[in-house]
Structure 1
Amino acid sequence: MTGSAAHTGPTSARAAAVALLNGVLVDQLSLADQVGQAKGPLASLGTGDRARAQRLATETLRHLRTCDQMLGPFLRLPPYPEIHNILRLGTYEICALREAPHGVVSAAVDLARVADPRSKAPGLVNAVLRRVAERGPEAWEAAPPPSLPKPFRKGLAAIWGNKTVRAMEEAQAAVPPVDLSLRDPASAGDWAALLGAEILPTGSLRLRDPGRISALPGYDAGAWWVQDAAAALAAQALAPQPGERVLDLCAAPGGKTLQLAAAGAEVTALDISEGRLARLRQNLDRTGLSAEIVVADARDYTPEPLFDAVLLDAPCSATGTIRRHPDLPYLRDLADLTEVTALQAALLDRAVSVLRPGGRLVFATCSLMPAEGEDQIAAARARHPELVQQSLADLPGIATEWVTEAGALRLRPDFWPERGGLDGFFIAALAKPV
């Protein structure tokens, strides 16, 4: 969007939010990629405006289908994308945030003038958002949970059925809580009391409205780190022991490495991206934990000696993380997972090759697709018939419905609805006989 840097305060955040929406819906760029761009939509903003822009874009995407339902009666044809996204943002602000309509409409018209000063778009934006304001938040609240984009929804429904996908959509509609993993899990009670957190059955702490994370007690002391409760289960499944040599094969951003190190293991954290490992280095410094960091392509990694245990949280479609990444359903093609599943298979073979006889391997993906979970493990065991799959049913806090017939964990966003949901994950544990 041209000219957005000239605005200040809320308008600059709105301009950046619209640019982020354009990036996702037009240019097929994730929010994370845009936020990290040196010359991206947020580059010229201060800290407060950056946070506001990200929040506005994220939540507009979360409720995009509801925004379109609110706008539909007042649009004979969809306007071109940038104007459409200005309307969507304005609708979210008026209906969900209950911002004063006159201020939202005025700011949206200004954005439309910048986007296309010689068109009738500013008049359209003014007229449509005034009509939306007349319907008001009551119509918004009466709407059903926003549905996922049709191609993405069709791919999920083919596997899970419409009823389960509707439950996932209900989970997707809510802002997810923040989960923490503790450096000392035995101190959960103390930190829960100090932070006002819920202790989840699996041991993570859950915060409903934490505010600024870095301002919370224990952050500077490195007593905890942010990590979804589902993701934390992968390291728990590996059950690292003090002094064991453990490899975190695709380590970034590093939450699992911290868990392994906190358990007393001698951890090697490997990732192909130096940039993605920066956050891990920062968290190791903050928590006072240690790990050897290796920047390499895991498929070419040949260590000596072999490892006692390997954790492979493999690259995947990330379909299980839609609660936290509502841009993702607009970016993923679930019809073709050939490239990513081939990479997963290659990484699994490498993980087996660097594991000593008698060692343990945990394979995990934050995916809802069996091709990246159950099918991947079945194929790996066919290639490596010596591997023995171990049941994870006895992990603390595990619900019976999470455990597959083979003993793996299959987690979904609609689980724990009364607690605020859970990321989708597949986690399997394998043993390599002596």
Structure 2
Amino acid sequence: MSKNPRFQNRKSPSKPENPNDKPGFAARKVAADILGNVVHKRRPLDGELDASNGHSGFRALAANDKGLVRAIVGAALRHRGEIAQILDWVLDRPIPEKTGRVQDILHVAIAQMLFMEIPDRAAVSISVDHAGSDRRAVPYKGLVNGVLRRIGREKDDLTSELDPARMNTPDWLFENWTAAYGEDGARAIALAHLKEAALDVSVKAEPEAWADKLDGVVVGAGSVRLRNKGAVETLAGFEAGAWWVQDAAASLPARLLGDVSGKRVADLCAAPGGKTAQLAAAGADVTAIDISASRLKRLSQNMQRLGLAVDTVAADLRDYEPSGLFDMILLDAPCSATGTIRRHPDVPWIKKPQDIEKLAGIQQALLQHVANWLKPGGTLVYCTCSLERAEGEVQIETFLQSSSAFELQPIRSDEVSDLGQPITNEGYLRTLPSHDLGIDGVETGWDGFFAARLKRL
């Protein structure tokens, strides 16, 4: 049967373009989802980006799109205060949408437009499509388009009035840091948080030789800082277990124990195991204790790659009693992690002042309990990756006031680095992200850490 000639050259009606088919759309949508989960639901960013149990949309992305999501969300969190201020300037009134979806879409777009090398046109187009495809945001599609186009036109004027150090730091944190380090110190810390942390590794031996092999430099007390970041699994020495990733500041507390060879050492709150590896590599008989069995499993896997033998115990320290006393104890107490904001930019937005108070109570309880596990004459190092005095200096002062069986052993500068900055007048270790490590050609700064060394009398 012949075809009707009236229909032979007529084109089939085209289907409406599906935004999900556009390159980059899925990544931006996932970025907005993850940003919303972090800032509205206070979910840790690491959990959202976890390769096994993280955001389902993120896990489904190709590797390059996963990298884009990490970059976008990182920029949106590091510059969250600036972005919020810009939106306040260009909007006549707050957006009435209650879930925060429109806000998340705008923040993802503005982060790309102002703080990443992504053309405005691409960021605007995909964000408008995203708003149009989301039932919560579709009534605001026109607003999203108008706001983003205006920001694109006026970006120079809008960004000229920004105060990044102050705007990107919640008031309560900035006030804490000002009280502890002065306003100039607080501003320096806040500005350091705008940059990603460098990639440091701890090596079993010969840091200078490994610095040459890995294209890095020796920093701190023997860490190697790489000039370029990349997939660590592909670097020389990884499979052989010659080194492990660990911020230079995080490597210092374990060094404060001194010679650990042949000593029975407890590494408490041990996961993910950087300090455990240091102690075991130095010849200690290590018992690594952590409340999380899953994190201890990962620690054990890391020790297996490194060829190091340690005992592991999954337990809540507050309820646990060891079979015998230890020569040395390293207590890396659970804390707010405000010293790691460069690598965890979600911390300022998921932590609250009441979290510090709660954690301080846990820290004091742990310190009081585990101090009883130490032999007379033994050494205990208490540390936290926090910038808050309540989680550092105040903890030690409180403990020493209540226990006459311990005395402070001041830390010397030559024990941790050639720099005098990290050692306080009291003899504590206090590293800051803003510290200048005095090395040309690599990123400066390190994580914010507090450590104190105590001796049992």
Give CA deviations for 1:322-352 in whole Å, capped at 9, x if unaligned: 1111111111122563321221112112221
Distance 1:273 1:286 in 2: 20
Shift of the alpha carbon at 1:134?
2.3
Q: Which residue of 1 aligns with 2:364?
A: 345
Moved more, 252-261 or 347-356: 347-356
Give CA deviations for 1:251-286 in whole Å, capped at 9, x if unaligned: 011110011011011111000101122321221111
CA RMSD across the alignment: 2.4
Pair 432,323 (structure 1): closer, same or farther in 2 beyond 3 Å:
same
Q: Which amino acid aligns with 1:317?
A: S
Aligned: 1:166 with 2:187: yes
Pair 30,118 (structure 1): closer, same or farther in 2 beyond 3 Å:
closer
Q: Which amino acid aligns with 1:329?
A: P
Q: Which residue of 1 aligns with 2:449?
A: 425
Pair 311,236 (structure 1): closer, same or farther in 2 beyond 3 Å:
same
Q: Which residue of 2 aligns with 1:13?
A: 27
Distance 2:283 2:21 in 1: 51
Shift of the alpha carbon at 1:432?
1.3
Highest CA radius of gyration, 1 or 2? 2
Q: Which residue of 2 aligns with 1:49?
A: 65
Give CA deviations for 1:392-434 in whole Å, capped at 9, x if unaligned: 113141532322232111222221276521211110011112x
Distance 2:259 2:159 in 1: 48
Shift of the alpha carbon at 1:38?
5.2
Aligned: 1:316 with 2:332: no
Aligned: 1:275 with 2:294: yes
Q: Which amino acid aligns with 2:226?
A: L
Shift of the alpha carbon at 1:384?
2.0
Distance 1:117 1:67 in 2: 21
Shift of the alpha carbon at 1:159?
3.3
Pairing of 1:242-321 with structure 2 (within 5 A) = 242-321=261-340
Pairing of 1:123-138 with structure 2 (within 5 A) = 123-136=142-155
Moved more, 387-396 or 43-52: 43-52
Q: Which amino acid aligns with 1:402?
A: P
Give CA deviations for 1:188-207 in whole Å, capped at 9, x if unaligned: 11111121112114211112
Instruction: Please tell me whether the aligned partners of residues 152 and 330 of structure 1 are also in contact (alpha carbons under 8 angstroms).
Output: no
Q: Which residue of 2 aligns with 1:408?
A: 428
Q: Which amino acid aligns with 2:92?
A: R
Q: Secondary structure at the match of 1:267?
A: strand
Distance 2:118 2:346 in 1: 23
Instruction: Please tell me whether the aligned partners of residues 408 and 427 of structure 1 are also in contact (alpha carbons under 8 angstroms).
Output: yes
Distance 1:21 1:131 in 2: 23
Shift of the alpha carbon at 1:250?
1.0
Distance 2:314 2:284 in 1: 20
Q: 50, 54, 66: which one pairs with 2:82?
A: 66
Q: Which amino acid aligns with 2:387?
A: L
Distance 2:225 2:161 in 1: 29
Q: Which residue of 2 aligns with 1:399?
A: 419
Instruction: Please tell me whether the aligned partners of residues 412 and 422 of structure 1 are also in contact (alpha carbons under 8 angstroms).
Output: yes
Q: Which residue of 1 aligns with 2:11?
A: none
TM-score by length of 2: 0.87
Shift of the alpha carbon at 1:153?
2.3
Distance 2:270 2:234 in 1: 26
Give CA deviations for 1:120-164 in whole Å, capped at 9, x if unaligned: 322222222222222357965885434312333233334333221
Pairing of 1:66-215 with structure 2 (within 5 A) = 66-79=82-95, 80=97, 81-116=100-135, 119-136=138-155, 140=159, 143-146=162-165, 147=167, 148-184=169-205, 187-215=206-234
Distance 1:65 1:318 in 2: 20
Moved more, 267-276 or 107-116: 107-116
Q: Secondary structure at the match of 1:402?
A: coil
Distance 2:145 2:19 in 1: 22
Q: Secondary structure at the match of 2:433?
A: coil
Distance 2:229 2:303 in 1: 22
Q: Which amino acid aligns with 1:57?
A: V
Moved more, 137-146 or 101-110: 137-146
Shift of the alpha carbon at 1:62?
0.5
Instruction: Please tell me whether the aligned partners of residues 235 and 311 of structure 1 are also in contact (alpha carbons under 8 angstroms).
Output: yes
Distance 1:388 1:118 in 2: 60
Distance 1:131 1:172 in 2: 28
Pair 141,42 (structure 1): closer, same or farther in 2 beyond 3 Å:
farther
Shift of the alpha carbon at 1:211?
1.7
Aligned-pair identity in percent equals: 38
TM-score by length of 1: 0.91
Moved more, 311-320 or 341-350: 341-350
Pair 117,85 (structure 1): closer, same or farther in 2 beyond 3 Å:
closer
Unaligned 5+ segments in structure 2 are 1-17
Moved more, 286-295 or 192-201: 192-201
Q: 356, 374, 392: which one pairs with 2:375?
A: 356
Instruction: Please tell me whether the aligned partners of residues 263 and 327 of structure 2 are also in contact (alpha carbons under 8 angstroms).
Output: yes
Aligned: 1:30 with 2:49: no
Instruction: Please tell me whether the aligned partners of residues 223 and 248 of structure 2 are also in contact (alpha carbons under 8 angstroms).
Output: yes
Give CA deviations for 1:347-374 in whole Å, capped at 9, x if unaligned: 1122211111121110001111222111
Shift of the alpha carbon at 1:376?
0.9
Distance 2:276 2:58 in 1: 30
Distance 2:372 2:230 in 1: 44
